Structure 1
């Protein structure tokens, strides 16, 4: 995998490689999802470690659809999803990681963050709510926070869903024209889209400063939903395979030999 600290979003691919075929990838994704069913069951039963999946991306990069595609079919007892919205008054009265730490996964769980603590060094910078100096301090805190989670047995997977400006415009237009998607529309979506160059710059700064070897970013081409789901599902499956969770030994007392 390319070093995530050097990601260049102007040149990075937002589409699947030309040699891959949609039907083949969709079949492979289904096979991966079946692997995930067993691996998640073992993780939940083992109850010693956990996984945190962080999804970041511009508006209309497809985070909600990705969650449905990859995690549907898994045991709902072992998966939680939390979407981070604008901080409440109570949350703003604490340090920026206070609300995040409350949502990290307990042992045995897969926790999905739909947006995350990275919003506090992304939109806050684009809207000039914090200074560059404060962002640097927050980078240090984020790296320490993720290291703490890893030391406690949580595997952290970070995904940036890379959607092109053209694809984003088309998806935002669908939110206006498609009755099934109008509920997603928010005033200011178009204004945010116009700030893509600013978001690109702050995202690349995040990649440079928050990509330790133990917790790199995965850049996911997101223009095609079928390929995006495959990349994330495969990375999750591979991480769980490396963790190799095991069913615990039965607690039932074995019968004594006569």
Structure 2
């Protein structure tokens, strides 16, 4: 799987600046990749049907990225072939006043899918160790001095541990987690921002606050690398995918989701002898009408 070169499971360090943002080193053929993506979507749809019927595992796909990296487009194009009845998408915005009164995983726990369902987190609990860390927002939290009185490094080290423990807990409760970071270059982000400004149909996607966040671009890369290193495990790996060319990004995401579904339990339930006999009786009654 081409995405394996972008996979981090804790066995090696993540250096985002050393990773390609366009995937050109992979020498992909665009027409071939688009065709393979379409094939993957068909395979995903077939597996999802059995996965939904089986109902023994849940799949959580975490999408994280800097602004304009293509999270919404990835959800739209890669997940379009799935049965919406078995998919739930949650976008995590800045915590509201109610959410801030609880622990940082409270709102995420409410968004967990039933087993047999795929959950897509457009941003996630990782915001609480990313934007919070970059902007020192933890200083504004209403928490005890014993928590906020420690150093910034100690505070987030504990959060990393809590996230690892939480993901281990989910895995042990029959959920699989795949975490994807869309690795956009600063040059490409600028290009997409300008497109949003110049195209009236995309104006709504742009905010002046996006420029304020862009000023922290390099800092975000450093924090993302730290977060990936601290929370990547074999059971809950990270993928830092090149995001500058959307058609290639979507292919890689389709490969990852397909692989995750293949690893999940996806056998259609088998009826016992009594249930099969009842089906035969129903068939006989229908044919007799």
Give me the TM-score of the superposition, normalised by structure 2.
Answer: 0.85
Confirm whether residue 86 of structure 1 aligns to residue 94 of structure 2: yes
Measured after TM superposition, the shift of residue 177 of structure 1 is 1.1
Q: What per-residue deviation string (whole Å, max 9, x for no partner) do you get for residues 120-159 of structure 1? A: 0000111012322211111111011111111111110000
Q: What corresponds to 1:222 in structure 2?
A: 243
Measured after TM superposition, the shift of residue 32 of structure 1 is 0.2
Q: What per-residue deviation string (whole Å, max 9, x for no partner) do you get for residues 78-136 of structure 1? A: 00100000000000000111001111111110000000000000001110123222111
Q: What corresponds to 2:276 in structure 1?
A: 254
Measured after TM superposition, the shift of residue 244 of structure 1 is 4.3
Check conservation: 2:56, 2:265, Cα contact below 8 A.
Answer: no
CA RMSD of aligned residues (A): 1.6
SS of the residue 2:197 aligns to: helix
Q: Which has the higher helix share?
A: 2
2:61 equivalent among 42, 45, 53: 53
Q: What corresponds to 1:32 in structure 2?
A: 40
Confirm whether residue 137 of structure 1 aligns to residue 158 of structure 2: yes
Q: What corresponds to 2:191 in structure 1?
A: 170
> Unpaired segments of 5 or more residues in structure 1?
none
Q: What per-residue deviation string (whole Å, max 9, x for no partner) do you get for residues 175-229 of structure 1? A: 2111111111123111111211110111111011101222111111100110111
Higher Cα Rg, which structure: 2
Check conservation: 2:57, 2:265, Cα contact below 8 A.
Answer: no
List, as ranges, runs of 4+ consecutive aligned residues in structure 1 with deviation greater than 4 Å: none
Confirm whether residue 152 of structure 1 aligns to residue 160 of structure 2: no
What is the 5 A alignment of 1:119-130?
119-130=127-138
SS of the residue 2:270 aligns to: coil
